[in-house]
Amino acid sequence: MKIFTRKSEVKEFLSIQKKSKNSIGFVPTMGALHQGHLSLIKRANKKNDITVVSIFVNPTQFDNKEDLDKYPKTYRNDVALLESVNCDVLFFPSVEEIYAENITSEKFDFDGLEHQMEGKFRDGHFNGVGTIVKTLFEIIEPDTAYFGKKDFQQLQIVKKLVEKYKLLVKIKGRPIFREEDGLAMSSRNARLTKEHREAAPFIYKTLKKARKKFGIKNAKELTEWVEKQFEEHPFLELEYFTIADEKTLQTITEVGANKKYRAFIAVFAGDIRLIDNIRLKNN
Q: Kindly list the residues in this chain that would bind ligand AMP in the complex (CB under 6 A).
A: 29-30, 36-37, 39-40, 147-148, 150-151, 174, 176-177, 184-187
Structure letter (DSSP) for residue 126: H
Q: Give the nearest distance from C-beta 147 to ligand AMP in angstroms.
A: 4
Task: Provide the pairing of β-strand 50-55 with 24-29.
Answer: parallel
Contact 23, 145 (CB under 8 A): no
Nearer of residues 219 and 274 to ligand AMP, judged by Cβ: 274
Give me the count of residues in the chain.
Answer: 283
Distances (CA, A) of 135 to 27, 50, 142: 14, 20, 12
Q: Give the nearest distance from C-beta 74 to ligand AMP in angstroms.
A: 11
The β-bridge partners of 277 are 264
Nearer of residues 29 and 223 to ligand AMP, judged by Cβ: 29
**Does 37 qualify as catalytic in the annotation?**
yes
Nearer of residues 132 and 210 to ligand AMP, judged by Cβ: 132
Q: Give the nearest distance from C-beta 80 to ligand AMP in angstroms.
A: 17
* Distance between CA atoms of residues 229 and 236, nearest Å: 10
Which residue in 112, 121, 106 sits closest to 156, CA to CA?
112
Which residue of this chain has its Cβ atom nearest to ligand AMP in the complex? 148
Nearer of residues 43 and 196 to ligand AMP, judged by Cβ: 43
Nearer of residues 82 and 184 to ligand AMP, judged by Cβ: 184
Q: Is 241 left (phi over 0), alpha (psi -120 to 50) or beta?
A: beta
Please give the distance of CA 201 from its chain centroid, rounded to a whole number: 19
Q: Give the nearest distance from C-beta 156 to ligand AMP in angstroms.
A: 12
Nearer of residues 52 and 176 to ligand AMP, judged by Cβ: 176
Q: How far apart are the first and last CA of the chain?
A: 48
Q: Give the nearest distance from C-beta 178 to ligand AMP in angstroms.
A: 7
Q: Give the nearest distance from C-beta 122 to ligand AMP in angstroms.
A: 13
Residue 112's H or E segment, with its range, is none
Alpha helices in the chain (DSSP H): 7-19, 35-47, 65-69, 75-84, 95-99, 118-121, 125-140, 152-164, 194-199, 202-213, 219-231
Helix (H, G, I), strand (E, B) or coil at 264: strand
Which residues have a catalytic role annotated?
A: 37
